[in-house]
Amino acid sequence: MSTPLAQQEAGSSPSEAPSRAHVDEPAVPNSRLLIEAADVSVQYAVKRPAFWTLRRDTLHALRSVSVALRRGEVLGIVGESGSGKSTLGRVLAGIERPHGGSVRFAPHCHVQTIYQDASSALNPFMTVRASLLEGLKARRRSALTYRGAVLDNEQALLGCVGLDEELATRKPHALSGGQKQRVAIARALAAAPDALIADEPISALDVSIQAHIINLLGDISEHLGIAVAFIAHDLGVVRHLCERTIVLYLGQIVEEGPTADLFARPAHPYTRALIAAAPSVNQARPVSAPPTPDGTPPASLELPTPVGVPMGCAYRGRCPAADPQRCLRDAPELKAQDRGSPSVNPETVQAYRCHYTPGEQSERAARSSGVAS
């Protein structure tokens, strides 16, 4: 049976600010689809100092990004700082209206968001109990059940995020950063959402509770069919938790696919650089990693700017395999990794944005490092 995606409000509390998503597409015949962003672009007008004046510029936070979030899946969204992860999260939550493209939601799709900064999600004048009750009031279907506990009351909600119920009478100022974050997660779960947009939800937590929250997110997705868009810097967690992953670079998807394939056989030089530079994925390698065996350097500390995005391939300035003419002239399309299969399933395909196959990239990188030495 087909389920049409339609325009929906994302919610009504501060963590799920209402807004109207941009909808202009026909129904999509796929019952697992919850949120579908097609060809989405987001731009901001910014001012930059130029000699004695300020120059107006356009910052391209997202450029033609297409993403589908399906019931019960955990989608990882990775990329370095400023690559557009949070912007994409806001678009998927319906909080930010894109300037181009469309976003569609399944009927009655209820989206909740969790942010790295939990303070912004909690009302400073409300006790934990009042915040959780507010979350419960936003619920539009039966409460979630986690490890035998029905999450329809404050004790069960606090318990599921590993907090003691004596915290219920406190206000946010009397909680630690990690406790606030867990209350914000409990509040989001109280509303029994269909989709959860989690923007770096565990960065403020200690390692032991991080593992607990990761298991919680994995369980609610697997057993309760809640879709989770998990935005993270920690590739080790993404590898563990997410079935599919998309890699953003300067507001564009440069690679996407099943997480296992993407980590086993990254097809874009930027994905390889991110993996090589991630200590939790590659424990043996220090953070300032030396070039990988195929000559790809780790992501440098110098971040590119999404203002005045360059012509051609946006990654060419950092890419060891770049061709000075072709990569300057032609912007590469996102193309499927060839597995020799004639039909390509969008849920399982690995796609990357490069003119060259991974084999050609390695040859080119080896040749250019040979020329350089």
Q: According to CB under 6 A, which one of 306, 320, 332, 358 is a site residue for ligand ATP?
A: 306
Q: How many angstroms separate the CA atoms of 92 and 34, rounded?
A: 10
Which of these, 350, 359, 101, lies nearest to 246 by C-alpha position?
350
- Closest approach, Cβ 231 to ligand ATP, in A, equals 7
- Closest approach, Cβ 137 to ligand ATP, in A, equals 30
**Which CB sits closer to Mg ion, 86 or 296?**
86
Q: Is 245 in the site for ligand ATP (CB under 6 A)?
A: no
Q: Is 157 exposed, middle or buried (0-12, 13-18, 19+ CB in 10 A)?
A: buried
Instruction: Choose from ligand ATP, Mg ion, none: what does 87 bind? Cβ within 5-8 Å by kind.
Output: ligand ATP
Q: How many angstroms separate the CA atoms of 291 and 181, rounded?
A: 37
Contact 162, 156 (CB under 8 A): no
Contact 13, 130 (CB under 8 A): no
- Closest approach, Cβ 61 to ligand ATP, in A, equals 4
Q: Is 87 in the site for ligand ATP (CB under 6 A)?
A: yes
Instruction: Choose from Mg ion, ligand ATP, none: what does 283 bind? Cβ within 5-8 Å by kind.
Output: none
Copy the structure tokens of residue 152: 């329809």
Q: According to CB under 6 A, which one of 44, 54, 223, 338 is a site residue for ligand ATP?
A: 44
**Which CB sits closer to ligand ATP, 93 or 186?**
93
Instruction: Choose from Mg ion, ligand ATP, none: what does 59 bind? Cβ within 5-8 Å by kind.
Output: ligand ATP
Instruction: Show the beta-strand stretches assigned E in 238-359.
Output: 244-249, 252-258, 334-336, 351-353
Helices 207-224 and 177-190, packing angle to 10 deg? 10
**Which CB sits closer to ligand ATP, 44 or 286?**
44
In the complex, the residues that contact Mg ion under the rule CB under 5 A are: 86
CA distances from 213 to 36, 90, 119, 150 (A): 26, 21, 18, 17
Amino acid at 159: G
- Closest approach, Cβ 305 to ligand ATP, in A, equals 7
Helix (H) or strand (E) holding 209: helix 207-224
- Closest approach, Cβ 199 to Mg ion, in A, equals 6
Name the pairing type of β-strands 244-249 and 334-336.
unpaired
**Which CB sits closer to ligand ATP, 48 or 141?**
48
Count of residues in contact with ligand ATP, rule CB under 6 A: 13
Q: Is 15 in the site for ligand ATP (CB under 6 A)?
A: no
**Which CB sits closer to ligand ATP, 84 or 135?**
84
Instruction: Choose from Mg ion, ligand ATP, none: what does 81 bind? Cβ within 5-8 Å by kind.
Output: ligand ATP
Query: Among all residues, whose Cβ is closest to Mg ion?
Result: 86
* Local structure of residue 257 (DSSP, 8 states): E
**Which CB sits closer to ligand ATP, 86 or 362?**
86
Instruction: Choose from ligand ATP, Mg ion, none: what does 61 bind? Cβ within 5-8 Å by kind.
Output: ligand ATP
Name the pairing type of β-strands 111-114 and 195-199.
parallel
Mask for 46-85, x = binds ligand ATP (CB under 6 A): x------------x-x-----------------x-xxxxx
Q: How many angstroms separate the CA atoms of 59 and 45, rounded?
A: 6
**Which CB sits closer to Mg ion, 25 or 117?**
117
CA distances from 95 to 22, 244, 305, 341 (A): 11, 23, 24, 38
The residues of the shown chain that bind ligand ATP, judged by CB under 6 A, are 44, 46, 59, 61, 79, 81-87, 306
